[in-house]
Structure 1
Amino acid sequence: MTDQTNTAPGPAHPTALTKVREVVFSSPIALIATVLVTIIVLAAIFAPVVSPHDPVRLTPSERLKPPSELYWLGTDAYGRDLVSRIIYGGRISLVVGVGAAVFAVLSGLFLGLMAGYIRWLDAVLMRMVDGLMAIPNILLAIAIVSLWGAGLWTVLIAITIPEVPRVVRLVRSVVLSAREEPYVEAAIAAGSSTFLIMRRHLLPNTIAPLIIQGTYICASAILVEAILSFLGAGINPETPSWGNIMAEGRIYFQINPGIVLWPGLVVSVTILAINLLGDAVRDALDPRMAKRGIDR
């Protein structure tokens, strides 16, 4: 007779996505932020379907109309529907926000890994990073746009460059801590290549902090793009963007303040929702935050 060994599997460890979902659905604020971000993103993606009017069609006879059944938020100085322009403006703002976050994270990840692991390269890269961080984001972005001219790609680059140093410092700090771990020292002693150590042992430690940092960069990029466009140094004026709408409406603020207030409110809600969503992701992926929640 053969003894049967009990091989029941142990409790499964929740994945990062599961942790994020649990935090989102357990917090009303995080759930509201998720819903708002989802609505804004879907409205931007399906703008041709949900927009009630053509956002660039000029109708001089309908200029500066108050809110009505035909124009829910009124019209601007050229007779264009404000709701449609805000919806289409979300496309530009979200492209800039997500694009800046992706480019900054990828560039900062590479440089941060190099600076944190290769000691002789650390001093050179970090002095360059410190020099860039000494320049305010807005001033550096305005200088880049002034040199290369207004446009989507110029604005995207101008917003991305000031964000890269912050990602570099974040990744470098994680790598400096991780490279002292026994498993990294064992890999070095085993003769593993630098590339293999970075990819297999150091890169996984940076994923969670980078996801969190990426949400904050996205929110910051949306705000900077609106500021640049409002100052006339961003997206071309004929392209609907939240900053352009406010810039064109500031002249008529006393006649129809909604031209400035409504897109400004959308910018504020979007940035707040993304930041709250980033906080939820941080609570889910950062063990220290999870531990504080248990202690409370």
Structure 2
Amino acid sequence: MTEISKIGMEGAPLGRAPRISQLGTAAKVALAILVAILLLTAIAPWIAPHDPLLMDPLARLKGPSLAHPLGTDNFGRDLLSRIMIGGRLSLMIGVATACISVGLGLVLGLIAGFFRRADALIMRLMDALMAIPSILLAIALVALNGASVGSVIAAITLPEIPRVVRVVRAVILSAREEPYVEAAISLGSRTPLILFRHLLPNTLAPLIVQGTYILASAILAEAVLSFLGAGVSTETPTWGNIMAEGRMFFRIKPELILFPGLVLSLCILSVNLLGDAARDMLDPRLRKSAR
């Protein structure tokens, strides 16, 4: 068997998996901040100092104290507890959006990149979706389906799918011209085997990077929708809802927006820094240039 046939049977050679020790200082700090936020929101129901929905009119708009480390809102609810509990739903929407958009975009990108007949139809549909401003599309979908977690996830996911499709399609169009793929085709390998054994591994690195950016974008989009009143129900604490409720009292108590906004910003910044670090580690050309 010739060398090209061996490559065609075994697929593309895979490099060594990147390690956390290879992260830069900024990426390590970002990872520590993100892990801390995830941990605090995950165990929030057990460590939150107060019930985030408990109203105390006598304690409304109070400053930081031992009982309320970050103060209270206009209904007397503990701000720290609401930020911790609200982060659970905000992060869940971000993770769900990233997983769904990456999954659907991967399937459509594989089909568009490998099957020429389906390429035109899929890409024209993706171009049509990208022509609509994402926030306006999300507001329209939420307005049509009502304010719920499922509607918000669907509204944020739909504009993200075309970006994933275009990335995967570009990778597949390039990879299908590689010798090992041509060897697999010439040897009569079945289409599913070519797609999932020879082409799919090439998409993993860009998908991981794209997934981190979608995660950060989805968390921010949920906050924007909630701030505009088009997100989940206002009774449900999320970072966006907390800031939306505090905007009426910004002049007298700016921390109602500053504290949740700071946590939101740190979370998004950490995810973006980790996405940049993942891109640098997974792209061999960037690894070589950094040496």
Q: Which category of TM-score, normalised to the shorter sequence, fits these structures?
A: over 0.9
* TM-score normalized by the length of structure 2: 0.94
* Pairing 1:283–2:280 present: yes
The equivalences for 1:58-97 within 5 A come to: 58-97=55-94
Aligned: 1:131 with 2:132: no
Q: Bigger shift: 109-118 or 193-202? A: 193-202
> Structure 1 residue 15: deviation in Å?
3.5
Per the alignment, in what secondary structure is the counterpart of residue 240 of structure 1? Answer: coil
Q: Distance in 1 between matches of 2:16 and 2:214?
A: 24
User: Partner of 1:5 in structure 2?
Assistant: none
Q: Residue 192 of structure 1: SS of its match in structure 2?
A: coil
Distance in 1, Cα, partners of 2:273 & 2:102: 20
User: CA separation in 2, counterparts of 1:138 and 1:191?
Assistant: 46
State yes or no: 1:151 paired with 2:148: yes
Measured in 1, the distance between the counterparts of 2:15 and 2:113 equals 30
> Displacement, 1:280?
1.1
Corresponding residue of 1:21:
20
Q: Does 1:222 align with 2:219?
A: yes
* C-alpha deviation, 1:283, in angstroms: 1.1
Preserved CA contact (<8 Å) 1:105 1:167:
yes
Deviation string for 1:19-72 (max 9, x for gaps)?
241322xx2111100000000101111011221111011111110001111111
Equivalent in the alignment of 2:10: none
1:3 corresponding residue in structure 2: none
Report 1:1-296 matches (<5 A): 15-16=16-17, 19-24=18-23, 27-294=24-291
User: Which 5+ residue runs of structure 1 have no aligned equivalent?
Assistant: 1-12
- Paired AA for residue 23 in structure 1: Q
Contact 1:20 1:285 in 2 (8 A): no
User: Sequence identity, in percent?
Assistant: 59
Tell me how far 1:290 sits from its aligned partner.
0.4
Structure 2 letter corresponding to 1:240: P
For the residues of structure 2 that align with 1:190 and 1:86, how far apart are their CA atoms? 58
CA distance in 2, matches of 1:54, 1:288: 51
> How far, CA to CA, are the matches of 1:288 and 1:235 in structure 2?
43
CA distance in 2, matches of 1:236, 1:287: 45
Q: Secondary structure at the match of 1:76?
A: coil
Which 10-residue stretch deviates more, 133-142 or 171-180? 133-142
SS at match of 2:54: coil
* Runs of 5+ unmatched residues, structure 2: 1-13
- Amino acid of the structure 1 residue aligned with 2:16: T
CA offsets per residue over residues 139-165 of structure 1, 9 Å max, x none?
Answer: 111011011001111100100010000
Residues in 1 aligned to 2:20 and 2:266: alpha-carbon distance in whole angstroms: 21
TM-score, with normalisation over the residues of structure 1? 0.92
Deviation (angstroms), 1:14 = 6.8
Secondary structure in 2 matching 1:78: coil
How many corresponding residue pairs? 278
| CA displacement at 1:195 relative to structure 2 | 1.1
Moved over 2 A (4+): none
Contact 1:133–1:162 under 8 Å retained in 2: yes
C-alpha change, 1:123 and 1:14, in structure 2 (3 Å) is closer
The alpha-carbon distance between structure 1 residues 204 and 262, as it changes in their structure 2 partners (threshold 3 A), is same
Paired AA for residue 203 in structure 2 = T
CA distance in 1, matches of 2:277, 2:22: 6
Q: Which amino acid aligns with 1:284?
A: M
AA aligned opposite 2:144: L
Task: Provide the residue aligned with 1:6 in structure 2.
Answer: none
CA RMSD of aligned residues (A): 1.0
